[in-house]
């Protein structure tokens, strides 16, 4: 193996490593965005569940349900 082949392999290896690093950084940023979106969705769902719990535990709601059952 001559010096030209060794230099070519080193350059190709360096480019491959650089591409891999760029890919991993991009993937990490995308994952962080997904996590933030999921956290926002969970917060929204918690608010909705809280509202529904308030409605269902309200005495007037329970009274209406009892009337419906009669």
Note the pLDDT tens digit of each residue in 45-63. Answer: 999 999 988 888 877 777 7
Q: Compute the Cα dihedral for 17, 23, 27, 28 and give only its sign.
A: positive
Confidence of residue 36 (pLDDT cuts 50, 70, 90): confident
Q: What is the pLDDT of residue 62?
A: 74
What whole-number distance in Å separates Cα of residue 58 and Cα of residue 50? 12
* Concatenated DSSP letters of 4-65: HHHHHHHHHHHHHHHHHHHHHHHHHHHHHHHHHHHHHHHHHHHHHHHHHHHHHH-HHHHHHH
Average pLDDT over residues 19-23: 90
Q: Which two tokens stand for residue 53?
A: 């719990």
């Amino acid at each position: 193996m001559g010096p030209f082949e060794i230099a070519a392999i080193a350059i190709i290896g360096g480019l491959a490593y650089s591409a891999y690093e760029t890919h991993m950084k991009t993937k990490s940023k995308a994952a962080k965005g997904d996590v933030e979106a999921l956290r926002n969705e969970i917060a929204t769902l918690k608010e909705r569940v809280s509202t529904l719990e308030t409605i269902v535990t309200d005495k007037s709601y329970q009274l209406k349900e009892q009337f419906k059952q009669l």
